[in-house]
Amino acid sequence: MGISQREFNELRSQYEQARAQAQENGNQAIRYRTQSEQLAERLKFVESELLKAQQAEQLRVNREEQLRAEREERERLNREKTLKEQGKVLEALAPVKDNLEALKNKVSQIEEGRKQEMGVLSTQLKGLSEQQTRLDRETSSLSAALRNNKVRGAWGEAQLKNIVESAGLLEHVDFDTQVVVTGVNGEQQRPDMVVHLPGGKTIPVDAKVPYADYQRACEIPDNASDEELARRSELLKAHAKALREHVRVLGAKAYWQAFETAPDFVVAFIPNEALLQAALEADPTLMDDAFAQKVALTSPVTLWAVLKSVAYAWQQQSLTDDAKELFDLSRELYDRFAVLGENASKLGVSLARTVAAYNKFASSLESRVLVTARKLQKLDQSKVIASIDLIDSDKADVKELSAPEVSVEDR
C-alpha cells in the first residue's frame, strides 16, 4: 500500500525530530559525563583536603596533649621544688620560733618579778612603819634591861639584824655577823656585821648603844627645876661625848682596811632614833666630825634606807644577768635571722633563674621549635627522626659553674 506524500512528510518530520532529539540527548550525555568527571575531581580534592585537615587536627591535638603533659610535669616539679624550699624555710624558722618563745617567757618572768618586788617593797615599808611604832612602845619597857652593858650590846645587835632582815637581806648570803678579820697592825678585829655588795664589795657595820647618860637625862621631866634641867643638859652632853668617843675608836680601827674591797668608811649603827637625835642636838658638830673620821652615824630609818638600796642593787644585779641572757638570746636570734635572710636571698636568686630559664624555654619553643615542628607535616613519616630519650635527672651529675661571672656570690 503506498504512503502518501503527507504521511511521508510526517514520518520524515518525526525522524528529523527523533534524530535531533537523539543528538540533543548525546550532547546532554556528554555534558553529564563532563560534570560527573568534574564532580569526581572535586570530591577527590575535598577528600584530600579533609584528610589533610584531619591530619593537621590530629597533629594539633597531639601537640596540645604533649604540651599539656609537659606543662603538668613542670607544674608538678615546681610544686615539689616549692614544697622542698618551704620545708627548708620552715626548718630554718624552727629555732627562730623557739628563741622567740624563750624571749617571750624571759620578758614575762622579768615583768612578773618586777611586780612581785614592788608588792614586797610596799609590804616591807608598811612593816617597817609598824615595827618603828612597836619599837617606840617597847623603848620604855627596855629601859631597865638596857642599863646592863651586855644587854645593851645584845639588844643593839638584835636591832641591827632585824633592820637588815627587814630590808630584804639574807644572813650568810647578803650579810654575816661577828666576822673576825685582821687589822692593819695584825690585831684581830670583829665588826658586828659585814654587808656584802654586788661586785664582791663589803661594808662593815658596828652597833653601839650609848644609853646610861641618856636614860638618866630622860628621867628628868621638862617641868623640873632649873638645877635639874641643867643637870639633864650636862647628861645629854655626856651622852654626846660618849658617842663621839665611840666614833673616834671606830675611826681608829679602820675596819675598811681589813677588807680588800670595802669602801673607806664604817657604819656606826645607833639602834634608836632618839639616842642619835639627842647626841646631835647636844653636839651639833658630831656628824661632821664623824664623816671626817670616815664613820657614818646611822639610825634605824637611815640604815634601813641604805640596806634597802643594797637589796635593790642585788635585785638590779639579778636583772642585769637576766638582761645579759636576754641580750645573748637576741643576738642569737639576730644571727639566725641573718642565716634565714641569706637562705631567702638564695631562694630568690634561684626563683629568678627559674623564671628566666622558663621564659627562654617558652620563647625558644614558640619562635624556633614550633616553627620547625610545623614543617614535619610535609615530611615522609619514614624519614622522621626518632624521639630522643630524656636524661634521668636523679642520676645526672650537674656541673656547677665556677666562673666568677656566673657565681651566685658575685651577683
Cell readout for 386 is 626518632
Task: Read off the pLDDT band of 396 (50, 70, 90).
Answer: very low
Helix (H, G, I), strand (E, B) or coil at 137: helix
User: Beta-strand (E) ranges in 82-180?
Assistant: 175-177
Closest CA to 182 of 249, 260, 234, 112: 260
pLDDT at 99: 78
Angle (nearest 5°) at CA 179 between 173 and 185 = 140
Complete DSSP assignment for 23-90:
HHHHHHHHHHHHHHHHHHHHHHHHHHHHHHHHHHHHHHHHHHHHHHHHHHHHHHHHHHHHHHHHHHHH
- Tell me the pLDDT tens digit for each residue of 187-227: 777 787 878 777 677 888 888 777 678 778 877 887 878 88
Question: Does the reported pTM lie above 0.75?
Answer: no
Residues in the chain: 411
Residue type, 298: T
- Rounded distance, CA 385 to CA 383, Å? 6
State the DSSP H helix or E strand holding residue 405, giving kind and residue range, or none if neither: none
Residue type, 401: L
Task: Read off the pLDDT band of 148 (50, 70, 90).
Answer: low
Angle (nearest 5°) at CA 21 between 17 and 26 = 150
Cell readout for 184 is 692593819
Cell match 624519614: residue?
383
- Rounded distance, CA 309 to CA 177, Å? 19
- Tell me the pLDDT tens digit for each residue of 185-197: 667 777 878 787 7
pLDDT at 390: 43
Most confident of 69-78, 155-164, 346-355, 377-386: 69-78
- Rounded distance, CA 215 to CA 209, Å? 11
Q: Which residues contact 109 (CB under 8 A, 6 or more apart)?
A: 322
- Over range 357-365, report the average pLDDT: 75
Domains of the chain: 148-298 (3.40.1350)
CA dihedral sign, ordered 338, 341, 347, 349: negative
- Tell me the pLDDT tens digit for each residue of 168-178: 766 655 677 77
Residue type, 246: H
For 325, half-sphere exposure in the C-beta direction (CA atoms, 13 angstrom radius) is 14
Within the chain, how many helices (H) and strands (E) appear?
Answer: 8, 7
pLDDT at 404: 47
Instruction: Print burial letters for 382-392: b (CB count within 10 Å at least 16), e (below 16).
Output: eeeeeeeeeee
Cell readout for 372 is 620547625
pLDDT at 399: 42
Most confident of 16-20, 158-162, 293-297, 307-311: 293-297
Task: Read off the pLDDT band of 144 (50, 70, 90).
Answer: low
